[in-house]
Homo-oligomer: A and B are copies of this chain.
Amino acid sequence: MSSAVGISIADVEPHLLRTFVAVAETGSFSAAAGRLRYTQSAVSQQIAALEADLGTPLLTRRPVALTPAGERLHRHAAIILVRLAAARADVTRAVAPPGRLAVGLTPLAWSKRVSDALTRIRAESARLSSRVLVADRDRIVAASATGEIDIALVDGFTAPNDPLPLPVAGAVRVAEDGAVVALPRDHPLAGRPTLQLADLTEAYWIDAPVVSPLTHLPVDALRTGLRYEGADVAVLLGLIEAGHGLSVLPSGVARGVLLPRMVHRVELLATPGAGVPATRLSELLAGP
């Protein structure tokens, strides 16, 4: 191994990054202070220190918003903080693999097969302490990296031969079905056999980042009328039926018109060294 990680370059202090991220996400110094159990003053000083260190303003004040340099830093910082946590998790897990089983999934990753696998493994090892976390994809991937969960099931939409665009490698396909545009029963397009996204530029869409994140579709071009931030599929279906807008969903969940050249897929992320129950569950899921 080379001595590449040279002498020079002062460190970017991680607690400053953490505070910076908190401010960026809350849009407020005081809110960030509350979240991190600091005083407003401390947050202000930390941001000032970071800006002085990097030699450039990172945030505008009143209103608090990211400058271009701040945008860049924010992208880096989020990744670095996760990796930092992942390093700690990986090392401590290597010492004492947990006996528990923590599963994380995105709302649409749930299925009978997942349910069965969980039932079975809990039956196998009687008094196994288990935990299930449902959240949006970013949260689940981060929790997987940090070892907060041992197994992650993540769903998403892509072209049939592409993998899901995840920021980590090593995902395994677990399930796949079609992608439909969910429509109210009485919608004019409801009779069509298939549909192109282009047919729907006139429609209003429901932006549901937790349930149905379409980050890699040209959804910018679509008009979003309503934003649903919950994780409950039934609520989203209700909103669609009530005519608040359309959404892309797996064919197993909603009636609607099929989108060709697009699939809904569930992938499995197992964190290495997460212990025996996790390995067993991943076998059950990835197997036949």
Contacts and interface: CB of A to CB of B under 8 A. Distances in A.
Contacts of A18: 5, 11
A4 B91 CA distance: 21
Interface in A148-192: none
Given A18-B5, A54-B92, A95-B55, A12 B87 contact: yes
Contacts of A15: 11
A235 interface: no
Given A79-B83, A139-B2, A56 B91 contact: yes
Looking at chain A, what size class is its interface with the partner chain? Answer: 35 or more
A86 interface: yes
Contacts of A195: none
Given A7-B36, A25-B1, A12 B84 contact: yes
A239 interface: no
A21 B85 CA distance: 18
Interface of A: 1-5, 7, 9, 11-15, 18, 21, 25-26, 35-37, 54-56, 58, 68-69, 72-73, 76-88, 90-92, 94-95, 135-136, 138-139, 142-143, 146
